[in-house]
A and B are shown apart, each in its own frame.
Chain A
Amino acid sequence: MSSWLRASLPQALILVLLGAGLGLAANQISPRGLPLITPPKQAYKAEAFIALDQAKQLWHRSAALFLDAREPADYAAGHIGNALNLPAQSFAQHFGKIAPMLTLESPLILYCDGPDCELSHRLRESLRQLGYTNTHLLFNGWTAWRQAGLPTSPGGQQ
């Protein structure tokens, strides 16, 4: 090991520790501070999901906002009628446009497509971190909705 590296390593370690200490201290006093240990993921039990019939009723009464967690291209190809696109993969980038339409208590129906799709789960987690807890997952959302002949928007009209 060269001499400059040997001399710099302890200082580098001190800098890392200093940065870490500042981070912990700032997190402690910041109103936007996070819990040090990430809260465990909620197990997606049956109550996290909403039945298609129930979702249909909420849709007809305009009693819930439907959020499509897929990528914009998939959303553009067809989506549940009146649903808004909030891609789970780029949540932060799109959330600002949706946020003014929500309150923390707003009933939200989240969906993606396919029985194994995780996007709606991830969207739910992102929303939960921000305090939006009245969220429901529509299992196999887009396919189930379309196959039931329920109202859709561009590209998916049947």
Chain B
Amino acid sequence: MKGTPPLHHNCLNWILRLLVGGAFVFAGALKIADPAKFAVDVSNYRLVPHELINLVAILVPWIEVTAGSFVLAGIWLRAAALVITSLTVMFFAVIVSALARGLNIECGCFGTVGGKHVGLVNLAIDATLFSLAALLARRSKDCPAKEIFREAGAQNSAPPR
């Protein structure tokens, strides 16, 4: 990665953060709005032990929203992008497993975005998010919260031209 400029504080960085963070906040919020439906979606994959289905349905959306929010805010950016990268790897494996077993089920990923049933479109969306999140994790420069607030304060106190 030597010689590669960090993505921090440039336009591409903002776009990536908006795409990745926004997608995960959106996806998580959909699931949080209807946890019982997401529990059914999780159950349909037949991968999680029955007793743990609700717990997964409760925890995963909030981890998505938390990581997505931190990416959007640019706080602990690399760590948040790392969490999202890991989630996309997990989702990819789960979707591949469902397709391999011929399950004709709802994805439970982004509502009806990407089709009603789990399929290659979901895999493509997941792979894209993985690539973007990995890019953020690898090339972003971490910006501690105090630095962000200092910058914001400096901008607010700058004299008008």
Contacts and interface: CB of A to CB of B under 8 A. Distances in A.
A130 interface: yes
Interface string B70-100: 1000001011101100100000000000000
Nearest to B56: A38
Given A15-B70, A34-B58, A129 B80 contact: no
B20 interface: no
Per DSSP, are chain B's interface residues mostly helix, strand or loop, or mixed?
helix
Contact of A15 (B36, B80, B112): B80
Contacts of A92: 34, 37, 40-41, 106
B82 A8 contact: yes
Contacts of B104: 71, 89
A91 B59 contact: no
B35 A38 contact: no
B34 A32 contact: yes
A34 B57 contact: yes
Interface in A103-146: 125-126, 129-130
A37 B55 contact: yes
Given A15-B79, A92-B41, A22 B66 contact: yes
A51 interface: no
A129 B61 CA distance: 20
A41 B64 contact: no
B79 A34 contact: no
B116 A93 contact: yes
Determine the main DSSP class of A at the interface with B: helix
B76 A11 contact: yes
Contact of A8 (B35, B57, B137): B137
Contact of B40 (A4, A33, A37, A91): A91
Question: How many interface residues does chain A have, given as a range?
Answer: 35 or more
Nearest to B28: A19
Given A27-B35, A32-B35, A38 B44 contact: no
B39 A129 contact: yes
Given A34-B35, A36-B58, A38-B54, A19 B78 contact: no
Contacts of B43: 125
B12 interface: no
B121 to A, nearest CB: 16
B59 A24 contact: yes
A149 interface: no
A102 interface: no
> Top 7 A-B pairs ranked by shortest CB distance?
A23-B62, A11-B79, A19-B63, A19-B66, A12-B79, A8-B79, A34-B54
6 contacts: A8-B137, A11-B79, A20-B62, A22-B65, A30-B35, A40-B50
